[in-house]
Structure 1
Amino acid sequence: MIGHDIRNPLQAITSELYIARQSIAETPIKELAGLALESINLIEEQTDYISKIVSDLQDYARPLKPELEEVDITKVIASIFQTVKVPDSIKLVIDLKGFPKIETDLTLIRRALSNLVINAIQAMPEGGTLTINAEKTGRQAIFKIEDTGKGIPEEVKNRLFTPLVTTKAKGQGLGLSVVKRIVEALGGTIMFESKSGKGTKFTIRLPLKE
């Protein structure tokens, strides 16, 4: 209920921002329009951040009951980048190797992959390369999200999927624990490799039906 109470005003803010952006586009004073757009962009970023916190809290608290359907992973990845902004300083590499459609929960797999993509971007504030791989091996679907950021500190690695544990100055520490819950609800596993100064790679393995 609290999540809905927060989301309702967030949706209203988002709608008003859209209207404001459209109105500014018609403003003849370019300097004024530029300043206003900067403010709108900042508000949108903070609104998205609040929305993510609400989603993480809801996903962590509620029971996960996967609803399986045929899912096109190519479209899932594309939809993620319609909402997640990739800075110009980050090179995006996507290799799906002709990945087939799989039977999984569309909402849950999108949420898990989206969280990992956001984490990877945040791990590279000075730029780098974000690589996304997906392939089918035998009766498994394998997803790999890799960044070239600073890596995960040794003292955090053993607790990385624990709720409220984070390596970021700004963060609630729920994103990765939510990903782990989702992956396990789908019958899969998640692992990671990380080297200081070189980056981190998360690997999700999901079972496939014959």
Structure 2
Amino acid sequence: MSDMTNTSSDNSTLNDTEQELRARYLEIAELAGGLAHEIRNPLSTISLNLGVLREELDGADDPRDQRMVKRLAAIQTECDRLEDFLNDFLQFARVMELNFQAVDVSEFVSELIEFIKPELSQQSIEISPHLGTNLPAVQIDEALFRRGLLNLTRNAQQAMPDGGVLEFQTYLADDQVVLEIIDTGKGIPENVREKIFDPFFSTKTGGSGLGLPTVCKIIEAHQGEIQCASEIDKGTRFRITLPVLPKSD
């Protein structure tokens, strides 16, 4: 009886802690959203005025005016980059409130493949699906999970600029549903691979460094895990594990 009481008390403490952490997280996310909004407003004004100035100088023959056009274009590029960063940051900060649904991962991935197939075929990337059948359902927020998988797919595309193979695998292992996304791209160096899930770390010029960290947060919000294995000039494998949805009595 005493042990049962202690367990209940421990669970209550954990629930209280989880609620407190959730409340703090939501507060931070709200502050982040407000900050991004305050930055976006003047940024939009700057971009608008840059467009007006470029239109006024459009077709100018004077060398000085032509130099000004190039400088304005460079400023516009930086404004666009900052806008992209704000969007990435908001996605990273707001991964918390989920709308869970019971989903068959193989069916979900099959629909995703149909969506991305036309674009990948133009890049000479072959999709190779190996999707398990009759897998137990998992709980996911479809829109958020899809965003995460599309992010991984874009990374694979960038790793195979001359074409290759993108493989999707789903199967059951140790009472967990596993999804693997494997490309035949250029691979990730070990010193980079150790940091790819760190916020703001990027090897891409102008990259926000929030793409893969956001994917990691999405998977963790689903009580799952994501791992990466890679070999130079051979490819990269992302392995996602998700807990099986308990069967109702």
**Normalising by the residue count of structure 2, what TM-score does the alignment of the two structures yield?**
0.59
- SS in structure 2 of the partner of residue 56 of structure 1: helix
1:109 corresponds to: 145
Partner of 2:223: 187
Q: Which residue pairs with 2:27 in the alignment?
A: none
> Residues 201, 170 of structure 1: CA spacing in aligned structure 2 closer, same or farther, 3 A cutoff?
farther
> Which residue number corresponds to residue 96 of structure 1?
131
CA deviation after TM superposition for structure 1 residue 53, in Å = 5.5
1:92-143 CA distance string (max 9 Å, x none): 1112121534322212221221111111111111111111111123421101
**Residue type matched to 2:188 in 1?**
I
Q: Which has the higher helix share?
A: 2
What stretches of structure 1 of length at least 5 have no aligned partner?
10-48
> Counterpart amino acid of 2:111?
A
Output one character per residue of 1:155-207: Cα deviation in whole Å (capped at 9) or x when no partner: 21221111222233453221100011111111111111111111110001111
- TM-score, normalised to structure 1, is 0.69
Task: Output the aligned Cα RMSD.
Answer: 2.8
Contact 1:90 1:128 survives alignment (8 Å): yes
Determine if contact 1:139/1:209 at 8 Å carries over to the other structure: no
Amino acid in structure 2 at the alignment position of 1:82? F
| 2:94 aligned partner | 62
Distance between the aligned counterparts of 1:127 and 1:51, measured in 2? 30
For 1:26-50, what per-residue CA distance to the aligned partner results, in whole angstroms no more than 9, with x for missing partners? xxxxxxxxxxxxxxxxxxxxxxx99
2:193, 2:228 within 8 Å by CA — same for their partners in 1?
no
In the other structure, the counterpart of 2:21 is: none
Identity %: 36
Within 2, Cα distance between the matches of 1:62 and 1:80? Answer: 26
Task: Say how many residue pairs are matched.
Answer: 168
Q: Is the 8 A contact 2:219 2:225 kept in 1?
A: yes
